[in-house]
Amino acid sequence: MQFDGKVVLVTGAQQGIGRAMALEFAAAGADVAINWLDDDAAAQRVADEVRACGRRAILVKADVAQIEQVQTMVSATEEGLGPIDVLINNAGVFPRVPFLEMTEQDWDQVLDVNLKGSCFCAQYVAKAMVLAGRQGSIINIASGAALRGSPRGVHYVASKGGILSLTRAMALELAPYRIRINAIAPGLTDTTALWQQRDRTDRDGTLDPARPHGATGRDRTAAMFLASENAAFVTGQTPYVNGAPISREVRWAADFERIGARLPLARVAKSDDIAEAYLYSLWTGFSHRRDHRCRRQSATGTVDLIAGAHDHLPLAWPIFPLGHIRGSG
């Protein structure tokens, strides 16, 4: 099997994406350390499912926001299963709060778990890999929200944006040790954390019932690839596993007039009073002219888009803004 004899540590594995990844790696032959925090019964069920695959499993309780507990978690995994080959940095929190009401405590809670926790879980696992002279793979769980933004989620978006930068920087530092660092940016996924927020966010359109939500299996498939030898030359990358979602508020504008060789894509968000355009510049491998101009009719008027071109950008890096946006009635 693909991961026969490998040891995989999955943080936040008691449910959702973490559970799905733990079971997928076990089915592929890996022994799994299941990190959990607040649901012993759920974690035990995941461990039983891993063992049903004929693989070893241990439970490691730890709050990834606490550095001492992270160090203990890594040591316990190696003592119980052996040297870690793969880390899935999945543990995270997904609270919602309006920006104008957000407190320092709200901010610290999210950044401590999502960003600081991912950083030091990766650091302690990487130290163990380097000390043992072993190559390995670390996969961070980011979010598509890091690029598109998210109402009531300034702290969450900041933490996931940090994951993207953290991934690229760690990949550069750890490449000499043959430790690969990648991330996965899921779209909306059917998890407990998501549906706990649904009643509170439906009214502002954040969770549109008509909008597709991904199954956790989509993310675990990407993780399996990134952790495998098939991705031996892949590091510092972030695939977006989101099914190209479309909501009531956001429609991809696919029919913009093309000017020159390439034109940055755009999407238009409609409201009662204005049409706001958010421009995305996608690297195409070609040079662009500096002032691409296009017009699109909206429900409230015409939006003029003037997009300054940017060369030498990696695939799918968004630029906000690329020039200026003007609405006319």
User: Catalytic residue numbers?
Assistant: 156
Coil vs helix vs strand at 110: helix
Amino acid 224 reads M
Residue 137: both structure tokens together? 């793979």
Are the CB atoms for 62 and 70 separated by under 8 Å? yes
Contacts of 86 (CB under 8 A, 6+ apart): 3, 6, 7, 8, 9, 25, 30, 136, 137, 138, 139, 227
Are the CB atoms for 33 and 7 separated by under 8 Å? yes
Nearest to 248 by CA among 270, 215, 275: 270
Nearest to 207 by CA among 222, 188, 231: 188
Nearest to 152 by CA among 229, 109, 190, 205: 205
Q: Where are any strands of DSSP class E within the chain?
A: 7-10, 31-36, 57-61, 86-89, 136-141, 179-186, 240-241, 250-253, 265-270, 275-280, 292-298, 301-307, 323-328
Cβ count within 10 A of residue 97 = 17
